[in-house]
Copies of this chain bind each other. A is one copy, B any other.
Amino acid sequence: MSLKHTILGFLNAAPKTGYDLQKSIDLSIQHFWPSTQSQIYRTLKELEGEKLISGEIHIQSEKPNKKVYTLTAAGQEELVRWLSEPLVIPPHRSQFLVQLFFSRHLDPSIIISNLENHRNQLEKRLAFLESDEAQSRIELGRSAQEKAIYQIIIENGIHILKSEIEWANHSIGRLYKFIQKN
């Protein structure tokens, strides 16, 4: 589970509550590792059980009390270990391709409209990654190395989305030609 290591990664920078973590995730890695609040709180408990983080309750008078988690020495060790480890790419899944695969008996116009819908969704994601909002996050990096890494990550999304859009447009064109011939 990457969420465990995501949390270790964020806590390595500074102690945080579940609530803080949710905000950090939404602001940074949400577009390649989204997470929900309920999952974060559950995972924090698991990590505490494994002694990789430790929680301490902070009593606040004006706001609700909160539980601030800190990385333990074992947690930091586990983080570095995972970061250095070569990861196996999990199998690729695309329900859209499954749909397309079984569409052989469908009217080509429906297939085209599904492809167009797919492409439009990809374009929305691309627009976000190319927006100032996403680009400005690169500037959040402190060191030159950090900036270089953020840049590379954003480029990954942009690069892949563009190529998926290209494929969709090319495929739409091909099916149009197919209709005209038949």
Contact = CB atoms under 8 A, between A and B. Distances in A.
A95 B101 contact: no
A14 interface: no
A109 to B, nearest CB: 11
A57 interface: no
B32 A156 contact: no
Interface string A90-128: 111111111111111010101101100110011001000
A143 B178 CA distance: 12
A41 interface: no
B99 A82 contact: yes
Given A145-B104, A178-B148, A32 B97 contact: yes
Contacts of A174: 148, 152
Contacts of A99: 5, 82-83, 85, 87
Interface residues of A, number: 73
Contacts of A59: none
19 contacts: A2-B95, A5-B102, A31-B92, A33-B98, A34-B91, A34-B93, A84-B114, A87-B99, A87-B114, A89-B118, A89-B121, A90-B95, A92-B157, A94-B156, A100-B149, A100-B153, A104-B146, A159-B167, A160-B160
Interface of A: 2, 5-6, 9, 12, 28-29, 31-34, 79-80, 82-104, 106, 108, 110-111, 113-114, 117-118, 121-122, 125, 141, 143-146, 148-150, 152-153, 155-157, 159-160, 162-164, 166-167, 170-171, 174-175, 178, 182
